[in-house]
Amino acid sequence: MTLIRHNRPDADVFDKRFSDILDDFFKDAVSTRQNGFTPRIDIVETETGFELEVQLPGIKKEDINVNIENNVLSVSGERKFDDKQEGKKFHRVESRFGAFNRTVQLPDNIDPESVKASYKDGILSIAIDKSEKKSSKQIKIS
């Protein structure tokens, strides 16, 4: 069997900033040395709140933890690799396995009591409502 090197489709350097290229390089270099991976996350702001989608294919809902504390949202868990499959010989495994933890600093105007999470087809969807009150404060300089 001949193995052919496959380039990632998101590795088009002409559409990226130099800092993004360096971030990808170092993220890949570090993640190959550790047992884990970094799931992709999309964050969208609407008029009424924030919507987050975390890509977690192949992970059971029971293996995912979602926490919010001090306006920091944390999604953690583990993707387990089942290498005890009778009659199969793996030639290549490109999927990442192991523990993961993603944290996102949220703005001050969120309502932490309104967080709702659902999981379907490998996508963790999290909705957070905005709060009417803002916790910003003007500081008087003396």
3 state SS of 102: strand
Q: What is the pTM of this model?
A: 0.65
Asked whether 24 and 85 are in contact (CB, 8 A), the reply is no
Residue 131's pLDDT band, with cuts at 50, 70 and 90, is: confident
Predicted confidence (pLDDT) per residue in 22-70, tens digit:
777 666 655 544 566 788 999 999 999 999 999 998 889 999 999 999 8
**What residue spans define the domains of the chain?**
39-82+97-129
Task: For domain 39-82+97-129, give its CATH number from 3.40.630.10, 3.90.1200.10, 3.30.390.10, 2.60.40.790.
Answer: 2.60.40.790
Answer whether residue 134 shows pLDDT above 80.
no
Reduced DSSP (H G I as helix, E B as strand, rest coil) percent helix, strand, coil of the chain, to 5: 20, 35, 50
